Amino acid sequence: MKYIETASALKSAGHYRQAIAHGGLLYVSGQLPINPDTGEKVRGNIAAQTRQVFDNIIKILDSEETSIDKILKLVIYISDVNLWGEVNQICGEYFRKHKPVRTIIPISNLHFGLKIEMDCIAICEKNDVT
pLDDT at 7: 86
Q: Is the pLDDT higher at 130 or at 70?
A: 70
Predicted confidence (pLDDT) per residue in 28-65, tens digit? 999 999 999 999 999 989 999 999 999 999 999 999 99
pLDDT at 10: 82
Predicted confidence (pLDDT) per residue in 69-111, tens digit? 999 999 999 999 999 999 999 999 999 999 999 999 999 889 9
pLDDT at 104: 95
Is this structure's pTM higher than 0.95? no
Strands across the sheet containing 19-22: 2-4, 19-22, 25-31, 116-123, 71-78, 101-106
- Mean pLDDT confidence for 24-28: 96
pLDDT at 38: 93
Q: Is the pLDDT higher at 126 or at 7?
A: 7
- Are 100 and 68 a contacting pair, CB within 8 Å? no
- Compute the distance between CA of residue 3 and CA of residue 64 in angstroms, rounded to an integer: 11
The total number of structural domains in the chain stands at: 1
* CATH code: domain of residue 33: 3.30.1330.40
pLDDT at 128: 60
Domain with 18 in it: 2-127
